[in-house]
């Protein structure tokens, strides 16, 4: 089954009650039992819910994975994964990552004696140098948020010297339409499905996709025991969004290409970060492991200061100044004060995230209207 068909039919079954074409919203907390412990597979909606089951199967299908798990947010999914680790374990992470992930690593799990190493993963040797007998997880985003760095997933699989090291890819920026890390050798995929998968800025939800049954059982236990599960309405909205994922990602990518080229030609813009440029550091890798280059473009004005970036952000009309990304509408974000504010200024600068950088989530509006909006805001 091809991806476009999977987006509509993958992992889905007709509802057994009335054969409804769309998955019903099972807005219930509990289920009747005919006898103690005897039920139809559902007993309490924190543990399982038919709407959520269809969502989990759908996302697994999109990633060509065996098992999917849905959570109440992307961070809840990451939290569940980190709970599989033990005190003394070590994690190697890209140094250019979402601020919420960094905060969870440093402020929550580090105090439980889990050690995190943050390195530039564009050079594999940086990762090799940090691997010890205690390394259990390699964590990466590609493209990274917000610097749009590309990490070679396939090459990192060579670093898994034994089964004790797992490779996890946050695939939020690419979506399974553009990139499927399990096919490249990754063990775990994380999604903030709030973004491109749901796609309409109206739901907070996360997901994990894996192939390993033992790991699935552990994560499924944590999902239920910790309770960070999405409700049936959120699951339904995400399922509805998935049905147009392929169409939306095509337009996001097309529009971002036009926006990136416009910004690159603009004399008032100093630097544009988009992996589709041939002079991007890892453009060839992006071209190899991605179907297209996605809908995110970051840039720095030529006058590289916060005042200039602030003025551009405030002058935008179609681009809304807001956190998040991946919705049908275009958004502009100032990462240093918004999504990445929890990272220290020193650590932000190390990864190139300066106070003048703006991140665009390019929506599916008419590209020329978006270009005109940017041209007006830049002046």
Per-residue pLDDT, 360: 98
Structural domain of 337 = 245-378
Peptide bond into 143 cis (omega under 30): yes
194 within 8 A of 324, measured Cβ to Cβ: yes
DSSP assignment of 24-93: P----SB---SBTTB-SS-SBTTT--HHHHHHHHHHHHHTT-SEEEEESSHHHHHHHHHTTS-TT-EEEE
- 251-297 confidence digits (pLDDT tens): 999 999 999 999 999 999 999 999 999 999 999 999 999 999 999 99
pLDDT(162) > 70: no
> Cβ(202)–Cβ(329) under 8 Å?
no
- 122 in Cβ contact with 149 (< 8 Å): yes
Distance CA(118)–CA(96), nearest Å, equals 8
Lowest mean pLDDT of 11-15, 91-95, 127-131, 190-194, name the range: 11-15
Where does the pLDDT of residue 213 fall: very low under 50, low under 70, confident under 90, or very high at 90 and above? Answer: very high
pLDDT at site 347: 86
Mean pLDDT of 144-159: 94
**Span 48-83, pLDDT tens digits:** 999 999 999 999 999 999 999 999 999 999 999 999
**257 and 231 in a common domain:** no
* Together in a domain, 144 and 258: no
Task: Reduce the secondary structure of 147-196 to three states and give it as a string.
Answer: CCCCCCHHHHHHHCCCCCCEEEEECCCCHHHHCCHHHHCCCEEEECCCCC
147 shares its domain with 259: no
For 19-36, the pLDDT digits (tens) are 999 999 999 999 999 999
Residue 59 CA: distances (Å) to CA of 54, 102, 174, 207, 303:
9, 25, 14, 8, 43
Tell me, yes or no, whether 333 and 361 share the same domain.
yes
Residues 194 and 230 in one domain: yes
Residues 108 and 216 in one domain: yes
Are 154 and 293 contained in the same domain?
Answer: no
Residue-level pLDDT at 113: 97
Indicate whether 189 and 250 sit together in one domain: no
Say whether pLDDT at 328 is over 80. yes
Residues 184 and 261 in one domain: no
Same structural domain, 191 and 263: no
Counts for the chain of helices (H) and strands (E), in that order: 14, 12
Q: Choose between 347 and 169: higher pLDDT.
A: 169
Confidence check: pLDDT of 329 > 90: yes
Residues whose CB falls within 8 Å of the CB of residue 186, separated by 6 or more in sequence, listed in order: 153, 157, 167, 168, 169
The enclosing domain of 252 has a CATH number of 3.90.1150.10
Of 190, 208, 242, the residue at which a domain comes to its end is 242
Q: DSSP code of 23?
A: P
Which pLDDT does position 163 carry in this prediction? 65
- The reply to whether 78 and 189 lie within a common domain is yes
Which run of H or of E encompasses 103? helix 99-103
HEC secondary structure over 221-263: HHHHHHCCCCCHHHHHHHHHHHCCHHHHHHHHHHHHHHHHHHH
Report the mean per-residue pLDDT for the chain. 96
CATH code of residue 172: 3.40.640.10
Clarify whether residues 313 and 366 are in a common domain.
Answer: yes
Per-residue CA distances from 376 to 134, 215, 370 (Å): 53, 51, 10
What pLDDT sits at residue 351? Answer: 86
325/134 Cα distance (integer angstroms): 35
pTM for the complete prediction? 0.96
Last residue of a domain, one of 242, 266, 291: 242
Q: Which of 220, 242, 264 is the last residue of a domain?
A: 242
Nearest Cα neighbor of 223 from 340, 327, 53, 80 is: 80
Looking at the annotation, which residues are catalytic?
A: 46, 98, 170, 195
Q: How many domains in the chain?
A: 2
């Amino acid at each position: 089954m091809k991806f476009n068909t999977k987006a509509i039919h993958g992992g889905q079954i007709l509802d057994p009650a009335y054969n409804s074409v769309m998955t019903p919203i099972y807005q219930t907390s509990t289920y009747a039992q005919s006898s103690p412990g005897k039920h139809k597979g559902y007993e309490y909606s924190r543990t399982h819910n038919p709407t959520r089951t269809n969502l989990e199967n759908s996302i697994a299908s999109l990633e060509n994975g065996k098992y999917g798990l849905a959570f109440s947010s992307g961070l809840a999914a990451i939290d569940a994964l980190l709970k599989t680790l033990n005190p003394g374990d070590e994690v190697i992470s890209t140094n250019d990552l979402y601020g919420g992930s960094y905060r969870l690593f440093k402020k929550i799990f580090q105090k439980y004696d889990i050690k995190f190493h943050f390195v530039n993963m564009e050079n594999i040797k940086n990762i090799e140098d940090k691997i010890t007998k205690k390394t259990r997880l390699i964590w990466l985003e590609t493209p990274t948020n917000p610097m749009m760095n590309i990490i070679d997933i396939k090459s990192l699989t060579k670093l898994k010297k034994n089964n004790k090291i797992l490779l996890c890819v946050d695939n939020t920026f690419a979506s399974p339409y553009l990139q499927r890390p399990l096919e490249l050798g990754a063990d775990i995929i994380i999604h903030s499905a709030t973004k491109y998968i749901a796609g309409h800025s109206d739901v907070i939800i996360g997901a994990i996709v894996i192939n390993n049954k033992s790991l699935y059982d552990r994560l499924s236990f944590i999902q239920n025991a910790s309770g960070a599960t999405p409700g049936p309405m959120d699951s339904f909205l995400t399922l509805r969004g998935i049905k147009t994922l392929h169409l939306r990602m095509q337009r996001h990518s097309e529009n971002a290409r036009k926006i990136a080229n416009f910004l690159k030609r603009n004399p008032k813009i100093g630097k544009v970060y988009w992996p589709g440029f041939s002079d991007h550091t890892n453009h060839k890798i992006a071209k190899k492991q991605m179907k297209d280059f996605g809908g995110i473009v970051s840039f720095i004005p030529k006058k590289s200061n916060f005042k200039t970036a602030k003025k551009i952000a405030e002058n935008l009309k179609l681009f809304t100044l807001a956190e998040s990304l991946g919705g049908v509408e275009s958004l502009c974000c100032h990462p240093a004060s918004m999504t990445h504010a929890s990272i220290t200024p020193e650590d932000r600068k190390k990864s190139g995230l300066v106070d003048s950088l703006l991140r665009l989530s390019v929506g599916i509006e008419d590209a020329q209207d978006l270009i005109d909006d940017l041209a007006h805001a830049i002046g």
